[in-house]
Structures are given as structure tokens and as C-alpha cells.
Amino acid sequence: MQSANVLLKKIIRNSVLPFAAQHGMKKDLFPLSRTLSLSLCLKQDNSASPSGKLDLDAWKKVMKSGLQEEVSETVSEQKELSTLAAAREILEMWRLAGRSVPENITEEQLKTFMECPSKSAKKKYLKYLHLKELYKKNDKRKMDEKRERRLETQKQASETGETKRNSFVCLWANAMDKAYSWRVAQSMIFGQPLIFDMSYEKDMSVREVANTVRQIVLSEGCNRRSVDPFHIHFCNLKDDSLYHKEFIKHYRGAWGKLLITVTDQCYTDIFPKDKLIYLTADSPKVMKTFDHDKIYIVGSMVDKSIKTGVSLARAKRLGLETAALPLEKYLLWNSGAKNLTLDQMMHILLTLKDTGDWKKALEFVPKRKYCGFVSRPVHELKKTLNLINTLKLGKRQEEARRQFAKNYSKKLTQK
């Protein structure tokens, strides 16, 4: 061992390069100068190895060396960068620093980023892009995995020589589409109208409009697949509005072929006022039953900043009747705003239309927002809740329990 060491030292002293080569340094990766400096550090290490002395600044040499060619590159490159390119570089540095920044960013996104009014807005936008990118990557990975699996099973199937026998030609999707279209076409003649009020563009940010349109596209999809669809109207939809652009982005060629009514007129111009009911969470009136003769209006608005009373104001201005869903009456509300997304509204309205069953309809309210369904009148439920609380607190435990038992037995006998 000792002799080997001596030998090594000799070699190092004699020439540096062979040593590096011997040790399998990543020679091809590094330019000459770095190898040199690295091996020099190694040499120092070796000479002091028994005592375990470390050259603590060795990393600096590594970082400083081997960069000559890169430096010259930067010098030769033009110094002036356009603001966009500069922003791109900053983003790259942020990514290296470990912030949530997307790997790839388009020109358009970069411009939006630059137009953000504040630092926090910029940060938020970048995080949004970053998450979007992550989701996309994940989806792609899953798709690839799926494809591989499918290929494998196909291979196995071909190996075993088994073929599937099927009486139907595989035209399911196509046939279903046709059937759905028939139904929606019928509803356009005989169906109950449902209005989306597209007049909130100026109350929303660009991203909110995009979200709104996405929700409406989902709603339209679920309406199309329902047994008895609504006849959907998009009212107050101006050409070349943001809404319109977003719709075309989503539907592309299908936009012209959708079985819905699109108009830039207001609903009050199309329908008699006394038939219209504006649905808004701010309404003081609570909906009791679903009326098949009325025409319900849903405001196409996503308000992340909780602008209360915007749609109620609109209905007030036009002198329309308003209504809110009876969420309080049927659900023990937990947290979250009472305004629901447009597709949830659509699910709820469709279910009400088909069944009239509130419990079934309100299943579509997100579960996180409520604790459970109210099976008994609310005040009674609150009484039990209070009882439970006193039990928890341990105050007059026995008495409370007795009372609870008494109440409970009374209820049983009543039934």
C-alpha cells in the first residue's frame, strides 16, 4: 500500500495529466485547465492524507477554472439584450435558484409576465405557469405509460393469437354523439331555455374570463349528455369580446355547429320579464322549487376577488326576480363561498329539472363546503350540536345526557 502511494506520488510529480487519466476523471467533459487544477488539489490532499487535512477552498478553484472559454463566449456575444431576452434570463436564474418558475415560456407568456403590475403579481403568474407545466408533464408521462402498456398487451394478444369478437363495429362514440345531438336539437325547439348572461367581462380579469369559459364549456357538455337538455342561450355575447375569443379557442371549428342560441341581445329583449328569474347567491329570496315554466339566468362570472352584489345589482337594474339556491336549508354549511361554479350550477339545475329532488341536486355542491345534509329542521340540529358541546365541555354532563335521552325517546315515540 505504502509503495503504491509512493509510486502515485512519483507519477504526480512527474506529470499531472496521466494521473488524471488514470483516475478516470471526466476528462472529456472538462477542458484542460480544470483537470489541471483539480489534480493539483488532489495532490495536495494526498500529501496530507494521513492527518485528514482538507483544502477547503478547493471548490473555488474548480469554479473559477475551466471557464475561460465560457467567459470568452460571453464577451463575444452581443452585450445588449432586448428586454424580453433579459427577462428570460432572469427567469432562468430564478429557476436555478429553486423558485417556482416554468422551464419553458413562450413569447406571449413572457409579455404577460412583463406586464404584471407588481412583483407579487409576477410571482403569482410564474407559479401558475410552473404548476401548469408540471401538470402537463405529468399527464404526458401518464399517457406514455399507458401507451406502452397498451402496446405490450397488444403484443401479448398477438402472440397468443387471440382475436376479439365483436358484433358491433366500434362506432360507439360516433353513435352517441349523434344521439346526443338529436336530443339537443329537440330541446332547441321544445326545451326549457336556460340563459348564460355574458355581460361581466369588465368585472373580470383575463384569467377569470378564461376560467368562466372553461366552466361554461363543461356545462354545455353535461347539458348535451343529459336526458332532457336545456335550450342554452348565451345572451349579451358580443363578437370579438374576450368571451368570444376564448370560446373559439376551446371549440375551434365546432363553435359554429353548437346546438345553442348565441345572441348579443339582452334576455329581456327575447323573453317576457315576468318569466325570468336571475340566480344569484346574493339574492334575499330562496328558491323553493324548480319551476318548469320559468327561464333561469346564470351570470357567467368567476369572481376570485369576491365582488358581492354584482349580479344582484344587474337584476335590480332590470327589475327582474332573483333567487338563491336553498343551500342553508338543506346543507349544514361548513366553509367557502356560497357561489358555485357554472358547471356545478348546471348539474344542479339539470337534476332539479329531471327529478325535483333537492337532496340529489345538491350532491353536486363540493363536499368540502358542507358538513352534511340537514335531515331535520336546522334549529333542532343546532340544539343537538349545543348538547354535544356541553357534553364535550363536561358541564352538567349527566343532566345534559338525560335531556338528550329524553328528547331522543320522545322523537322515537312521535315517529
- Where do the H-state alpha helices sit in 265-309? 267-270
User: What are 104-109's contacts with CB under 8 Å, separation 24+?
Assistant: 104/133, 105/129
Using alpha carbons, list the distances in angstroms from residue 179 to 129, 182, 217, 225: 39, 5, 19, 9
Measured from the CB atom, the residue of 312 and 340 that comes closer to other proteins is: 312
Does residue number 121 form part of the binding site for other proteins (CB under 8 A)? no
DSSP class of residue 409 equals H
Measured from the CB atom, the residue of 51 and 166 that comes closer to other proteins is: 51
- Please give the distance of CA 327 from its chain centroid, rounded to a whole number: 25
Q: Which cell goes with 206?
A: 383575463
Does residue number 41 form part of the binding site for other proteins (CB under 8 A)? yes
Q: Say if residues 212 and 300 touch (Cβ distance below 8 Å).
A: yes
Strands 193-197 and 231-235: parallel
Contact range with other proteins by CB under 8 A, out of 56-64, 142-150, 178-186, 297-305: 56-64
Measured from the CB atom, the residue of 171 and 286 that comes closer to other proteins is: 286
Does residue number 21 form part of the binding site for other proteins (CB under 8 A)? no
- CA 218 to CA 232: how far, in whole Å? 13
**Angle between the 32-47 and 2-14 helix axes, to the nearest 10 degrees?**
140
- From residue 317 to residue 356, the character string flagging contacts with other proteins as x (rule: CB under 8 A) and all else as - is x---------------------------------------
Residue 298 DSSP SS3: strand
Q: Say if residues 39 and 19 touch (Cβ distance below 8 Å).
A: yes
User: For the chain, how many residues are written?
Assistant: 415
Contact range with other proteins by CB under 8 A, out of 50-58, 221-229, 372-380, 401-409: 50-58
Measured from the CB atom, the residue of 54 and 405 that comes closer to other proteins is: 54
Contacting other proteins within 62-101 (CB under 8 A): 62-64, 66-67, 70-71, 74, 86, 89-90, 93-94, 96-99
Strands 261-262 and 231-235: parallel
Identify the sign of the CA torsion 288, 184, 299, 337: positive
In whole angstroms, how close is the CB of 38 to other proteins at the nearest point? 7
In whole angstroms, how close is the CB of 228 to other proteins at the nearest point? 34
- From residue 167 to residue 206, the character string flagging contacts with other proteins as x (rule: CB under 8 A) and all else as - is ------------------------------------x---
Tell me which residues touch other proteins (CB under 8 A): 26, 29-30, 34, 38, 41, 52, 54-60, 62-64, 66-67, 70-71, 74, 86, 89-90, 93-94, 96-99, 119, 203, 284, 308-310, 312-314, 316-317
